[in-house]
Amino acid sequence: MKNLFGQTFGMLLLGGLCIAGEAPVGYTDTPIITGQKWRVHDADRPQPRVVTPGERFSDMAPPPSDAVVLFDGKDTSKWVNDKGQQAGWKIENGYMEVNGKGSIRTKDEFGDFQLHLEFATPSVVKGSSQERGNSGILIYGRYEVQVLDSYQNRTYADGHLGAIYGQWPPLVNAARKPGDWQTYDIIFEAPRWDESGKLTKPAYVTVILNGVVLHHKKEYLGPSVHHALAKYGRPQPPRGPIVLQDHGNPVRFRNIWIRELGEYDQQ
């Protein structure tokens, strides 16, 4: 996991704790997460229970009439790199693939939204723990929903596929096999601050992976960070881009669309 464009939050290989078999994977020297009994990336935190998802859920779901199509399999015209230039990811067979040219973000910014996205981690398994099929969806470049190959891959619980990275593990591990396409359906509510700069509402997220609920309106404790406590700082705009992370693994993405939620009783 990194920040918006490559300033490393980390992903150091776990300080020698990445041990084969059922040995703990994670850290023992990190701070206790606010309101929890577990440390950030706690080596002893229980692994999410494995659930086998259904064969299909929202796979290749067509966008609703009011959705903005962010990627239709043909070009990356809705995305830019860290320099604001056209994204340079590989495009092939209806997907785009991380290729070492850096993270990309949407040109447009969004408020509270519903996001649909499909991804596939590499079919050829290389590495383990956080070095296996790693990417991420960084909402506003700050609030991460983890992308990882979590199929029979032990890692620290708050870094699994679907984790609110460094804060909350997914309720269950609903990963499909490496190389299989998987679906994310994410509902995000942005944080709010009052005129004095006081946080009045934290960010919330609902995450459905392959038809299985991983989080239901779960609170972000602050922007995602590695090996440290998440906390809110100065006020931030209620809109922002969607960032897809280049973590050096050739993860693929397809069929990405987004809907802003709007308000009740408005036409």
Q: Domain tally for the chain?
A: 1
The answer to whether residue 17 sits within a structural domain is: no
Question: Is 6 part of any domain?
Answer: no
Block residue for tokens 């984790």: 163
86 beta partners: 80
Range of the domain at 254: 31-262
| In-domain check, residue 224 | yes
In the prediction, which pLDDT does 15 show? 35
- Residue 3 within a domain: no
pLDDT mean over 66-77: 96
- Burial of 69-85, coded b for 16+ CB within 10 Å and e otherwise, reads ebbeeeebebbbbbeee
Q: What is the pLDDT of residue 266?
A: 84
Q: What is the pLDDT of residues 154-192, one digit of tens each?
A: 999 999 999 999 999 999 999 999 999 999 999 999 999
**pLDDT tens sequence across 207-262:** 999 999 999 999 999 999 999 999 999 999 999 999 999 999 999 999 999 999 98
**Would you say residue 19 has pLDDT above 60?**
no
217 within a domain of the structure (yes/no): yes
Higher pLDDT pick, 56 / 5: 56
Assigned domain for 19 exists: no
Each residue's pLDDT tens digit, 96-151: 999 999 999 999 999 999 999 999 999 999 999 998 999 999 999 999 999 999 99
For the whole prediction, is pTM greater than 0.85? yes
Confidence of residue 18 (pLDDT cuts 50, 70, 90): very low
Longest dimension (CA), the chain: 56
How far is the CA of 182 from the CAs of 61, 62, 147, 187, 251, in angstroms? 12, 15, 10, 17, 11
Phi and psi torsions of 14, nearest 5°: 60, 30
Write the CA distances from 248 to 13, 139, 254, integer angstroms: 14, 19, 18
Query: Looking at the domain assignment, is residue 4 inside a domain?
Result: no
Residue 166 confidence (pLDDT) = 97
The domain that contains 165 carries what CATH number? 2.60.120.560
- Confidence check: pLDDT of 11 > 60: no
Cβ–Cβ < 8 Å for 157, 148: no
What does each C-alpha distance from 67 to 94, 168, 255, 264 come to in angstroms? 19, 29, 12, 18
* Least reliable range by pLDDT among 4-18, 79-93, 132-146, 153-167: 4-18
| Residues contacting 201, CB < 8 A, separation 6+ | 189, 191, 192
CB atoms under 10 Å from CB of 119, counted, come to 22
Q: How far is Cα of residue 98 from the mean position of the Cα atoms in its chain?
A: 15
Calculate the average pLDDT of the chain: 91
In a domain, 79, yes or no: yes
